[in-house]
Structure 1
Amino acid sequence: MSSAKAPGTASVRPVPRPDHLSSYFKLAWRSLTLVTASGILYNAGLVAGPYFEGQLVQCLYDIISGRQTFPAMLRLAAAYLLVILTVQLLRSVKRFYVRRFANHTSRSMRQMLYNSLVNLDQAKAEQQDVGVLLTKAVADVDVCTEGMRKFTTELFDTGVVLIAYLALLFSYDWRLTLLSAGFTPLAYLGASLLRRKVTRANLAYKQSAGRLNSATLDRVGNALTYRVYGCDLNRDQAYEAALGNYEKMAARANFWENTPQPLYHCIAMTGIIWVLWLGSRNVTGQGWRNWDLAAFTTYLSAFGKMALKASSAARLFNSVQKAQVSWARIKPLMKPWIPPAPAPEAAAAAAPESGRQPLLDVRELACAWPGHKPLLQGLSFSVRPGEILGVTGAVACGKSLLGLTLLGELPYQGSVRLAGRELCQLGQVQLNQWLSYMGHDPELMSATVTENIRMGRPGAIQPALRVAALDKDVAMMQAQADTPVGLSGVRLSGGQQARLALARTCFRARPLLILDDPFAAVDAQTETVIFGQLRQLAREGHGILLLSHRLRLFPQLDQVLFLEQGQGMLSSHQALLQSCPSYARIYQEQTRQGGQVK
């Protein structure tokens, strides 16, 4: 399997302290520097608008009065146009780099999230569906980065411009500004008072959306079972209840987020009464300052724009509060970066030579599910580079237990040596360098085929698709490898889900592959194709431990470990047919039934 970097794939930049939002801002300091420079210039330049508006009104009045000519109006309009073009150019620069910052932050968060879940402890993974968990977390990443984008944008579009407008207003009449702008803080106070309401409403909405997603997946994934057992009506009622709750929570969250906006605007604009009354007194010479028509128009325009910005800033608080809810949900998943294992070629180069030291050497192994008595005892076998060893037995004989034990997820007694070192002495990074594992459940996330295979790591996916016999299926999809697979792979068939999980396992395959029932949901023809690809991997120096209840291709394996009553019998397929009646019976039954256990 090639580990070459895929064209167009950016290198991964681990985020220091990924559970701190400040880390993501620091990582994008170059973009934020340009945002700061262009943002300050752009928003400071916005005060030119009210100034020129006042000058244009005064010029028009002077033309009507005969004190100015029309060319003066043209010169003033041309200067105004030039200033507007400059300001809008700065705005484009600022918005481009703000969006770039948001995109890079989203990518960094997703990379850290993927890495955390890829290295999730198997015991924790068994307690929750990682695919569903990742789908919900990615949605929270989107909300969080959108909040960060709005915060960064409004810091300049509201913060800097408010300071610029206030400076302009104070320069015209500081007493009037104190009176009229005094209502603006009330809009912020209103937003602050509603903060808990907004936070609670959005948290309830997120929780309801999660329950609805789970109910949808349950209803679709288990539709046949519910239909067979006559539970359709019951499950439909449960789904309708979840849907009704979701609609109610969505409406409530939308109400508290958007309804107060006109109220904020009205509060901030209340000061216009003072501007109209006292500003007109300034024009007539009866106020605190002597104004001409240009000064009054400039002040009125600047105040209106400042009040509008102030009310928008109050709404920003609601967006930030939504982002805080999402961040609180994904923060526990943001673990320190675990470096990916070296390329398979590098690991294979250090692998034991075939015929000498085995990749996996198991002696007198005993293991059990947590809280239970040992299910397997006295197992001894080995897997060398180039070999495929099959493990089988009756239902619940311990195949998956063996796989998880060899993965280092469960305690054991006896000896398990991986590349010459005891398994319990190896860290997670060392295990990842030597082991590739495919579990019984696909655990797909709601993303594209490519993202499900790469899991945030670079590399070409086509070789992995060929190993899983999925390349032709993907080629026929509308967006090919960029096709979304849906929540937990719901848009794929059961066989495609299993093969996508296999492709993920074989992507940058490690020297030893442990595959738990890779043929469970595929037909005989596809099974033959996949096995041929696995045999080719073995020829390249990989060792493969194949846990399967399907025995159709077991005659082609190098060794077979048959599990029965907690013990293991290790031999070739032909020898087991002669010496083990239970194995012979299962094989013969499957042969008569076309290779499937029914």
Structure 2
Amino acid sequence: MKNKSFRADAIGSYFRLEWLPLLFVTLSGLVYNVGLLAGPWYEGRLAQCLADILGGNASSANMAALVLGYILVMLLVQAARFIKRFYVRRFANNINRRMKGILYAGLVRQSRASLEKEGAGELMTKAISDVDDCVEGMRKFTTEIFDTGVALVGYMVMLLVYDWRLALLSLLFTPVSYVCAARMKKPVQRAGAAYKKAAGALSAATLDRAQNAVTYRIHGCEDARAERYEDTLKNYETAAVRSSVQQSALPPLYLAVSNAGVLFILWLGAKNVLGTGWSTWDIAAFTTFLSCFTKLTVKSSKAAKLFNSVQKAEVSWKRIKPLMKKPEEFPELDIPAPETVTLKDLSFAYGDEPVFSGLSITARPGDIIGVTGPVACGKSTFGRVFLCEAPYGGSA
């Protein structure tokens, strides 16, 4: 917060503040993705080695060496993945804590009238759900840069190296899934916004029902309020289902569209193995190409899922952005050193009727003093007098 260039209403400022976790994410992400490219190659070599063993051209020792190398590479990949995800989670937790701190600081500085106008349910949704969704979108974006973006580029390059014509033909369907995801952006955002609004209305209705239950029962409108609450609940359930369908049902469709290119690989790749295609392949090349393509399509479906998460985060950010204002920094309080307090012949009266008189006491720094007495003997009045909130006699 002490960074003067920090802007609470700018997403980029949160990324800049978390540069150190992002540095670890970048380094471990690069190691992770380079290791991922080795996976299809090893799978192809293992398939070829098995075929050679069956043909009497290789031994089990060759297979064991490949398996050992594959295991070591995968262990390195998983270690890099663990480091990357650990720092991505730390990055997200830091931003979540910072955003909520700014949001709460802004809320406590608003007037009671403005808070009541906004509505308790709406504020609860913004302060909890919207911040969480916004941070989740930032986390997924940071994660998928490497899990999806860099990996996709690496897999594409690998496919082009093996057979660029077959690669281009089989990858024709992948951009189609991206286009579909882009076209679904506005419907997903509308569904997400409607869900957020319904969640806020439900929170407000629940709070109102809990606070005013006795009042509604006394005035005989409990049944009407219960019916209205049920309508609010049904609207929330409908909005939640629509939003969930938009976000959960579409990624499998994107994956199915991307996987359509496997038909070309099975047909033209088999020709390459037989020596009648565009390239000359062995079983290892065919297996590597097919494995690489399937991993690419899975990653591309995650990219479409990422689009949905980012769209959901955009909706939440638009809702909380007006409240994301950097709180002013107050100067440190100049608290004087503790001193001895002496009360001498303290007295107080309501008109001509005295409450207490002749009170004398000396309180030193660190003393703990209790005031006891029966009800209505003047304990609270003594406290008011001690704080100079009421006129008194004597000296303090």
Shorter-chain TM-score bucket reads 0.7 to 0.9
CA displacement at 1:216 relative to structure 2: 0.2
Amino acid paired to 1:38:
S
CA distance in 2, matches of 1:61, 1:199: 51
Summarize deviations over 1:486-518 as a string: whole Å, max 9, x none: xxxxxxxxxxxxxxxxxxxxxxxxxxxxxxxxx
CA distance in 2, matches of 1:219, 1:85: 55
CA distance in 2, matches of 1:31, 1:340: 30
2:381 match: 555
CA distance in 1, matches of 2:102, 2:196: 22
Summarize deviations over 1:438-464 as a string: whole Å, max 9, x none: xxxxxxxxxxxxxxxxxxxxxxxxxxx
CA distance in 2, matches of 1:320, 1:114: 24
The match for 2:99 among 102, 109, 112 is: 109
1:327 match: 317
CA separation of 1:551/1:231 partners in 2, compared to 1, >3 Å: closer, same or farther?
A: farther
2:73 match: 83
CA distance in 2, matches of 1:275, 1:558: 90
The match for 2:37 among 47, 57, 61 is: 47
CA distance in 2, matches of 1:230, 1:224: 10
Amino acid paired to 2:123:
L
2:132 match: 142
SS in 2 for 1:66: coil
CA distance in 1, matches of 2:224, 2:5: 47
CA separation of 1:82/1:319 partners in 2, compared to 1, >3 Å: closer, same or farther?
A: same
Amino acid paired to 1:95:
R
The match for 1:160 among 150, 170, 191 is: 150
Aligned length: 366
Is residue 211 of structure 1 aligned with residue 38 of structure 2? no
CA displacement at 1:133 relative to structure 2: 1.7
2:355 match: none
CA separation of 1:318/1:301 partners in 2, compared to 1, >3 Å: closer, same or farther?
A: same
CA displacement at 1:280 relative to structure 2: 0.6
CA distance in 2, matches of 1:78, 1:140: 47
Is residue 61 of structure 1 aligned with residue 51 of structure 2? yes
CA separation of 1:104/1:561 partners in 2, compared to 1, >3 Å: closer, same or farther?
A: closer
Query: Identical aligned pairs, as a percentage?
Result: 47
SS in 1 for 2:278: coil
Summarize deviations over 1:305-362 as a string: whole Å, max 9, x none: 101110111111111111111111111101123224525xx334599x999xxxxxxx
CA distance in 2, matches of 1:14, 1:553: 49
Summarize deviations over 1:96-145 as a string: whole Å, max 9, x none: 11111001111111121122223224553454456962553222111111
CA separation of 1:350/1:327 partners in 2, compared to 1, >3 Å: closer, same or farther?
A: farther
Query: Residue 119 of structure 1 contacts residue 338 of structure 1 at CA under 8 Å; is this kept in 2?
Result: no
CA separation of 1:308/1:204 partners in 2, compared to 1, >3 Å: closer, same or farther?
A: same
2:357 match: none
CA displacement at 1:209 relative to structure 2: 0.4
CA separation of 1:341/1:217 partners in 2, compared to 1, >3 Å: closer, same or farther?
A: farther
1:177 match: 167
Summarize deviations over 1:239-269 as a string: whole Å, max 9, x none: 0000000000000001111111221011000
Scaled by the length of structure 1, the TM-score of the pair is: 0.57
1:151 match: 141
Structure ranking higher on relative contact order (CA contacts 8 Å, 6+ apart): 2
CA separation of 1:57/1:205 partners in 2, compared to 1, >3 Å: closer, same or farther?
A: same
CA distance in 1, matches of 2:98, 2:331: 19
Q: Which runs of 5+ in 1 are unaligned?
A: 1-10, 356-386, 390-536, 541-549, 563-569, 574-598
Summarize deviations over 1:63-86 as a string: whole Å, max 9, x none: 110111111110111111111111
Select the structure that is richer in helix.
2
SS in 2 for 1:47: helix
Query: Residue 202 of structure 1 contacts residue 253 of structure 1 at CA under 8 Å; is this kept in 2?
Result: yes
Is residue 264 of structure 1 aligned with residue 264 of structure 2? no
- More displaced, 293-302 or 105-114? 105-114
CA separation of 1:143/1:12 partners in 2, compared to 1, >3 Å: closer, same or farther?
A: farther
Summarize deviations over 1:253-301 as a string: whole Å, max 9, x none: 0111111122101100000011111111111111110000100000001
Query: Residue 125 of structure 2 contacts residue 200 of structure 2 at CA under 8 Å; is this kept in 1?
Result: no
CA separation of 1:31/1:58 partners in 2, compared to 1, >3 Å: closer, same or farther?
A: same
Amino acid paired to 2:381:
P
SS in 2 for 1:140: helix
Summarize deviations over 1:393-422 as a string: whole Å, max 9, x none: xxxxxxxxxxxxxxxxxxxxxxxxxxxxxx
SS in 2 for 1:270: helix
